[in-house]
Structure 1
């Protein structure tokens, strides 16, 4: 069984650092869609030690990889992903130092892509270990600084320009770390994605975010076969040369359930194989009312990140149905570039906005997220419950704002005449797909 579907009258969905309780109409027939439960690792430290020392995928143990090396760069995801960095950064760094790499030649690099840097208390929260912050150089990638990047040329198949952060390219030992979860374009996050777009230059990232890739029907969540983004990422890894990855999988409580280490492609595939059956959930019907979240903190810090949760459930939303999204947006809207794209969406409408993108080889910064929102607007009505957006920002969301999520569900049921409601408490970490029951 790929996942679990329970029926209940009351349910809570992830919101901010907690949960938002739903009190739905008595006549509502609720289907709650969750990942299949994955057993927690009884000893996370022991599992990590085994991954690094005795069970690497397609590579020697970390201690052997580090032997004879003069420098190392470890990539970590930015604050938008709840990667348990606190569990593995220090053991990895200590292994490298024991193997002979000077600690002052080890860099932890935050793979921000085109996101803002993580600084101060936020950086401390992200790293999760005061020792690492005190002993090791921790820096942020800046995609806009041309001098920070090495030009590796273009990918052989699609000609994507490849510029990567110099600190990673020039390190003797290169390791990406991350969280493997569904990604609504690249199929799955983690592994190769932490390199590109994680520490790529803006031209590389904007090529990935162009309509040429975004509108490809195979560039969707949980799919790697024929996915043009995934294929380009693999080509970039091969152009770069030897690099490795530590991949994690966590459950709804953010506890570790799987960890893999080794050659970057092999170790990532091992994590995908582990989690895919639990995350990709078959559902026997489509729903006129779907209630979901942005998976809570940190993914619901901004409206920019919220859009991910608007796209992942579309396969089970009936045409013309209502998708109700709950996201705290505690940090507000997102970048100035994203706000400008949203303003164009509101001014032009979805189809005219999309028409302005199709001829571009390079997307404008952050407009791709607005393009993804258009996919949900094509299917049905999108509503947003949030407590974190100023009125000026609410005006350019491009969706319907609601002040009471329970009343919004009741109204959606009335509009459709269908009392069946799908609820996805963990938002984009769960990918439901329509699989009609056999006749």
Structure 2
């Protein structure tokens, strides 16, 4: 037998798997990094892409908003913010003219303790911090795809906007980071719903940007407002910065997206019977709403009728009331996909995305916390014991089943090799 230790919540879980049929354990391809996190961030800020340094762009007296991620994203705000704020101060911008906005999208508000931990105590005590409010928005325009674009009032009314974020694969927007800090990050519920409805169209998939209808709609919507400067990073499984880029809100993001595509896509020789996947631990498995991204990333290398065993602790269970209603509805996967196509519903879109995977492959086995494992989910069979899930999967597919292990499923995009 082979032994693996997979990320699970803020710890790991041990898994024993058969030696026969093992194809490989796949991680994103990481280049050796000799610089510290702070050195990488400083290097990016010293050499912005397509624009001047942030301290050369901002003017004293301007009202500056810094938009950064909430607790569901592994963006190291506590590492990035001191560098940015230091440069703003040196350019003559006072602390009282700076506001940090947490890009929640439709996620829950962060608590005071969570905010302090996320951005760092010293910054939290100095700078005003606001959770984004979906009901306090300003209309800025309508995209050619018909999305009515509304953004959080303090962001719209700022003189200078800076966006922070981490870049990783996103199952229908291509990549996270960049303009996603604004849309959906600080948009109204209506704007988010209209934009995300394009996820059912061709091209809305991981690692796709240039012909991706969701990404194109996002960037058009954000262009009505504009971003003055971005600082984006790529982080490893320990949430440490391993790459960074700053500057123009399109060009800097594209650089990191292209680098991630080269490192994160891993070639697989042939389709597999079973994939063993970890979402990547906290915060990627804080709830099933977030862990779904690992499902979508790794499903493409499964044979029809294959099995996925997903390890995701999900201490906050569903992450969305509407998602819970859909994924516990008792309906068949095909019904959820059909329902979303007929009437797009945020939250329901996650359940439909899982259902699409189930229809193409087969049932998903979720190894999760004991309480959540008692839930009845559409297309998902829950376990609180890894051994039982493994025994069940290999019992159904056979002990000779070909399988691979993906410890960082949300950051890895396996693809079947195509013939030359």
TM-score of the aligned structures, taking structure 1 as reference length:
0.91
Select 1:367's aligned residue among 348, 367, 379.
Answer: 348
Q: CA deviation at 1:152?
A: 1.1
- 8 A contact 1:285–1:436 mirrored in 2: no
Equivalence for 1:378? 359
What is the SS of the residue equivalent to 1:197? coil
Residue 99 of structure 1 is matched in structure 2 by 91
* Cα deviation, residue 437, structure 1: 5.3
What secondary structure is seen at the aligned counterpart in 2 of 1:198?
coil
The answer to which of 328-337 and 24-33 deviates more is 24-33
* Cα offset, 1:119, TM superposition: 1.0
Give the match for residue 5 of structure 1: none
Q: Distance in 2 between matches of 1:169 and 1:91?
A: 24
Instruction: Tell me what 2:169 maps to.
Output: 182
Structure 1 residue aligned with 2:17: 24
The 1:166–1:253 alpha-carbon spacing in structure 2 relative to 1, beyond 3 Å, is same
Structure 2 SS opposite 1:34:
coil
Paired position in structure 1 for 2:386: 405
Residue matched to 1:201: 188
Q: CA deviation at 1:37?
A: 2.0
The equivalent of 2:3 in structure 1 is 10
CA contact (8 A) 2:373 2:383 kept: no
Query: What is the distance in 2 between the residues matched to 1:384 and 1:330?
Result: 13
Equivalent residue for 1:85?
77
Specify which of 288, 294, 305 is matched with residue 290 of structure 2: 305
How far off its partner does 1:299 sit? 1.4
Which contiguous aligned blocks of 4+ residues in structure 1 show a shift greater than 3 angstroms? 388-392
Given candidates 409, 413, 428, the residue that maps to 2:410 is: 428
Report the CA distance shift for 1:390/1:21 in structure 2 as closer, same or farther (over 3 A). Answer: closer
1:35 Cα deviation from its structure 2 partner? 0.8
**Distance between the aligned counterparts of 1:138 and 1:65, measured in 2?**
23
2:205 is the counterpart of 1:223:
no
1: CA distance between counterparts of 2:313 and 2:25? 21
- Which residue of structure 2 aligns with residue 154 of structure 1? 142
- Say whether the 8 Å CA contact 1:69–1:173 is kept in structure 2: no
Superposed displacement of residue 343, structure 1: 2.9
Could you tell me how far apart the structure 2 residues matched to 1:428 and 1:350 are?
A: 22
Could you report, residue by residue, the CA deviation over 1:93-139 in whole angstroms, capped at 9, with x for unpaired residues? Answer: 12212212221121100000000011122212211x21110000011
Residue pairs, 1:57-136, within 5 angstroms: 57-68=49-60, 70-127=62-119, 129-136=120-127
1-side partners of 2:127 and 2:257: how far apart? 30
Q: Do 1:80 and 1:299's aligned partners in 2 also have CA atoms closer than 8 Å?
A: yes
Q: Does 1:50 align with 2:43?
A: yes
In 1, the alpha carbon distance for the partners of 2:370 and 2:287 equals 9
Instruction: Report if the CA contact (8 A) 1:245-1:262 is conserved.
Output: yes
Q: TM-score, normalization: structure 2?
A: 0.95
Q: Distance in 1 between matches of 2:26 and 2:412?
A: 8
Contact 2:355 2:378 in 1 (8 A): no
Q: Which of 155, 159, 164 is matched with 1:168 structurally? A: 155
Question: Runs of 5+ in structure 1 lacking a partner?
Answer: 1-7
SS at match of 2:342: coil
State the superposition RMSD in angstroms. 1.8
Partner of 1:414: 395
1:12-36 CA-to-partner distances (Å, cap 9, x unmatched) read 2211112211111243424211111
In the alignment, the residues of structure 2 paired with residue 303 and residue 149 of structure 1 have an alpha-carbon distance, to the nearest angstrom, of 28
Length, aligned pairs only: 418
List alignment gaps of at least 5 residues for structure 2.
none
Q: CA separation in 2, counterparts of 1:275 and 1:105? A: 35
Residue 37 (1) aligns with residue 20 (2): no
CA distance in 2, matches of 1:99, 1:388: 52
